[in-house]
Each structure stands twice: as C-alpha cells, then as structure tokens.
A = this chain, B = another copy of it.
Amino acid sequence: MLNYSTSEENHIKAIYHLQKDGSVTTNELAAELKTRPASITDMMKKLRTKKLVHYEAYKGFRLTAEGRKLALIIIRRHRLWEFFLAEKLKFSWEEVHEVAEDLEHVSSKKLIDKLDEYLGFPRFDPHGDPIPDAQGRIETSKQVCLTELPPGKQGIVCYVSDQSSGMLELLGHKKIGMGTRVEIRKRFSYDQSMEIKVKQQITTISGDLARNIFVKYDE
C-alpha cells in the first residue's frame, strides 16, 4: 500500500525541501541528491507515472498532493528518529542526521506511531524543525534558541529551559513569558548580550538569559 524504494523516497523528500514555492529544476535536484541530471530526468518520469510529481519535459516538477503526503511521512520518520537518537541515545545534534537518513526508510507505520508515543509525541526535532503528526499535519514554524533567531524575525517564546525562581523573576521583570513576541534588534558578540524588542519596547538581555529562551518563528 505504501511501498517506495529508498531512492524514490529520497527524491520525494528532496523535492519537498526544495520546492518553497514554484517548481524544482533538474539541476537543483541533481545537486541536492549528488546524482547527475540525466538520472533525475529518469526518476521524474517514473514518479510521474506513480502520480507523485507533476512533470512536463523542460518545465521542472512539483509534488502532487499524494507526493506531498508521502514526503511528510518520510520527514516524520526522519525527525522522530533524530529525536530518539538525541534524547534517548544521547547522540549530539550534529550526529543524528546521518543515521536518521537510513532509519527514515524503514517503513512500518506501526513502528513509527509507537515510537512517537514512546517519545511523548515530540513536536520538534533536535534541530528545531517541526515533526509531522500521524495524520501528516505539520507546523509551519521552526523552534530555535533565542540566540539563533534571525535578527528582524518575529519569534514567539514557547519554552524556557531553566525555571528556577531567579529565572522567573528576571523573566517577569523583562515582561517575557510564554507566547510573548520578541525580535532581536542588535547582538553583541563580546558577551552574547542582545537588545530585543518586547511589547514595543527595547530591552537588553544577557547571553545567559537568551540561551535559556526558545522561540518559534516562520521561515
């Protein structure tokens, strides 16, 4: 019912990641997958007959609704395994991707749904990317530490790792809480402190504080 080869899955996933809007080109996809353009053309013809991509010669390609569904299944597997590797097996966040590249192709739905449950239905992988749920729904935002919020982007505070009373006092004073919108105005590399805009006002926060605040933002 849902049996695609590793290569087909890798192609589908790569198209998903490349197609922000508009369509993906042969060269782009070949570069992404480290294959040759001719191989991409061959694969696109196959995926077209399987109704996973829209494709006309010389006109690039995009996923069909079904192709997108498949992409989200693969991304769900990938990110759940990454979470498992980081959280349970204590891999560092740089190491998880490579191993998840293989694990993502083990296709048992039951395995993935049970893994999801075992992990407590995590919403973001170790890189802050959202994990699609069992129905293929995915959040549009990415979760990162405030220190990595691109300056100028609106972030929404969604997690604070240190919840000591000292931290809470400081957060209260800065008027920062769950759901608060923040935006980085200026960062100082000397001590990682930064000026941020909170509720129409500019405040300065230390690197120590920033490192404990996590925000969601749309890319």
Contacts and interface: CB of A to CB of B under 8 A. Distances in A.
A110 B89 CA distance: 10
Interface residues of A, number: 18
A217 to B, nearest CB: 32
A106 B115 contact: no
The 5 closest A-B pairs by CB, nearest first: A89-B114, A102-B106, A99-B108, A99-B111, A89-B118
Nearest to A104: B106
B111 A85 contact: yes
A115 B103 contact: no
A90 interface: yes
Interface in A78-110: 85, 88-91, 95, 98-99, 102-103, 106-108, 110
A48 to B, nearest CB: 27
Interface string A100-142: 0011001110110011001000000000000000000000000
Given A99-B110, A102-B108, 14 more contacts: A88-B118, A89-B114, A89-B118, A90-B114, A91-B114, A98-B108, A99-B106, A99-B108, A99-B111, A102-B106, A102-B107, A103-B103, A103-B106, A106-B106
